[in-house]
Amino acid sequence: MRLSLLTTLVALTLAGCSAETTPPTADTAPTDSVTQATSKDLTAEDNAANQGASDKLAPNTPAEPLNEELCPYLDTQWVANTNGQKMTRQATDPRFETPACIFWSYPDAPQATVIVRHLDSVEQARAAVDWAAPIDGTEPVSDNGWEGGRGVLGPELAVYAVQKGPTAVLVWTNQVQTLKAELIAQEAIKNLGL
């Protein structure tokens, strides 16, 4: 069943969640096949060069699908297999120091959204995590120095958000379990050498 953004927002509101906990992207319709644009792959060395750099955006800045291109740090088929859905489209948001990645399947809402933040302080990184995974609606996470929260925020929305120092990794999926969001976050952390 295809749900529009409005229907999803109503469902989340009725479930007691605010609209701020919806996946942070603009509502755009998917296409039939993944755009085959290429993007320079980010390596651990590229990411190390970005350490200490900040994207200067507010901690609660949502991702927007600004560039129709492949995610530079997550493999398309790996994300599709991990989240359990066919990939129909991808986009990135280059406003972030590490581009945010947005993935779609057939529903209008994204199947997964990944935002990696390099902020000016630990407090800002915690604010980003608290925005993505509100304390009152999620369970705490502590894994290899990464701290944050995980939870199911609605009938088709789970989040896994963690921070270590001034870096935050925020992942939303359209699944009803947080494991898939956690696996995607761990893969991004590994691939970026965070």
Q: Which CATH number goes with the domain that contains 145?
A: 3.40.1000.10
Q: What is the pLDDT, as a whole number, of residue 54? A: 60
Domain that holds residue 157: 5-192
* pLDDT computed for residue 56 by the predictor: 85
* Percent helix, percent strand, percent coil in the chain, to nearest 5: 30, 25, 45
Are 20 and 73 in contact, with CB atoms under 8 Å apart?
no
> Would the pLDDT of 154 be above 60?
yes
Range list of H helices, 27-106: 44-50, 76-83
CA–CA distance, 61 with 24 (Å, rounded to integer):
8
Which whole number is the average pLDDT over 79-107? 96
Query: What is the total count of domains within the chain?
Result: 1
Residues near 2 by Cβ (< 8 Å), separated by ≥ 6? 106, 107, 108
Report whether 19 contacts 9 (CB < 8 A): yes
Contacts of 135 (CB under 8 A, 6+ apart): 149
pLDDT (0 to 100) of residue 114: 99
Question: pLDDT tens across 112-152, in order?
Answer: 999 999 999 999 999 999 999 999 999 999 999 999 999 99
* DSSP E strand boundaries for 18-111: 89-93, 98-104
Environment class of 14 (CB within 10 Å of its CB; exposed 0-12, middle 13-18, buried 19+): exposed
33-92 pLDDT per residue, tens: 333 333 334 444 444 444 444 678 999 999 999 999 999 999 999 999 999 999 999 999
The secondary structure of residue 40, as a DSSP letter, is P
